[in-house]
Chain A
Amino acid sequence: MKRNAVVIAAVVIAVGLMVWAGVLNYRHRQQQEAAVKQLQSMMAQPAAPSDGSSDAGADGSSAGFGGFMEHPLQGKMAPNFTLKDTEGRKISLADYKGKAVIVDFWATWCAPCKIEIPWLEQFNKQYASEGLQILGVSEDNLNLDNKTELAKEKQEIADKAKDLGINYPVLIDDANVSTPYGGVDGLPTTFFIDRSGKVVASTVGLAGRDEIEANIKKALGSGGQS
Chain B
Amino acid sequence: MKRLWWGALALLLAASFAAAQKLPWQKSERPQDVRYLFPEQVSVPAGEDSVVELHFRINPGMHINSHTPSEKGLIATNLILPDGSGIKLDKVEFPQGSEYSLRAMPSMKLSVYTGDFVVRAHIRATSGQHLVQAALRYQACDVNACYPPRKAPVVVDVIAK
Q: Which residues of A contact B (CB under 8 A)?
A: 7, 10, 14, 17-18, 21-22, 24-25, 28-29, 32-33, 36, 40-41, 43-44, 47, 55-58, 60, 63-65, 107-115, 139, 141, 156, 160, 182-183, 185-189, 204-206, 208
Instruction: Provide the bound-state CA to CA distance between A189 and B20, in Å.
Output: 31
User: Which chain A residue has the least Cβ–Cβ distance from B13?
Assistant: A14
Contact B102 A111 (CB under 8 A): yes
Contact A185 B21 (CB under 8 A): no
Contact B145 A187 (CB under 8 A): yes
Known: A18-B16, A56-B104, A109-B149. 16 other contacts (CB 8 A): A22-B20, A25-B22, A28-B22, A44-B142, A44-B143, A55-B103, A57-B103, A60-B105, A108-B73, A112-B145, A113-B146, A115-B105, A186-B142, A186-B146, A187-B148, A205-B145
Q: Is B39 an interface residue (CB 8 A)?
A: no
Q: Which of B29-80 contact A (CB under 8 A)?
A: 30-31, 59-62, 71, 73-75
* Contact partners of A115 in chain B: CB under 8 A: 102, 104-105, 108
Instruction: Provide the bound-state CA to CA distance between A65 and B104, in Å.
Output: 13
Contact B73 A160 (CB under 8 A): yes
Instruction: Provide the bound-state CA to CA distance between A41 and B60, in Å.
Output: 8
* Contact partners of A25 in chain B: CB under 8 A: 20-22
User: Which chain B residue has the least Cβ–Cβ distance from A189?
Assistant: B145
Contact B146 A32 (CB under 8 A): no
User: Which chain B residue has the least Cβ–Cβ distance from A3?
Assistant: B2
Q: Is B131 an interface residue (CB 8 A)?
A: no
Q: Which residues of B contact A (CB under 8 A)?
A: 5, 9, 12-13, 16-17, 20-22, 27-28, 30-31, 59-62, 71, 73-75, 102-106, 108, 110, 139, 141-149
Contact A17 B13 (CB under 8 A): yes
* Contact partners of A10 in chain B: CB under 8 A: 9
Q: List 26 A-B contacts (CB under 8 A).
A: A10-B9, A14-B13, A17-B17, A21-B21, A24-B20, A25-B22, A29-B28, A36-B30, A43-B142, A43-B144, A43-B145, A44-B60, A56-B102, A56-B103, A65-B144, A108-B73, A109-B149, A112-B146, A186-B144, A187-B145, A189-B145, A204-B145, A205-B142, A206-B144, A206-B145, A208-B104
Contact B9 A183 (CB under 8 A): no
Question: What's the least CB distance linking A50 to chain B, in Å?
Answer: 8
Most buried by A among B21, B139, B144: B144
Contact A44 B61 (CB under 8 A): yes
* Contact partners of A139 in chain B: CB under 8 A: 148
Question: What's the least CB distance linking A173 to chain B, in Å?
Answer: 12
Contact A186 B104 (CB under 8 A): no
Contact A14 B104 (CB under 8 A): no
* Contact partners of A18 in chain B: CB under 8 A: 16-17, 20
User: Which chain A residue has the least Cβ–Cβ distance from B74?
Assistant: A109
Most buried by A among B62, B108, B141: B141
Contact A21 B17 (CB under 8 A): yes
Contact A114 B28 (CB under 8 A): no
Most buried by B among A63, A109, A156: A109
Question: What's the least CB distance linking A184 to chain B, in Å?
Answer: 9
Question: What's the least CB distance linking B70 to chain A, in Å?
Answer: 10
Question: What's the least CB distance linking A19 to chain B, in Å?
Answer: 9
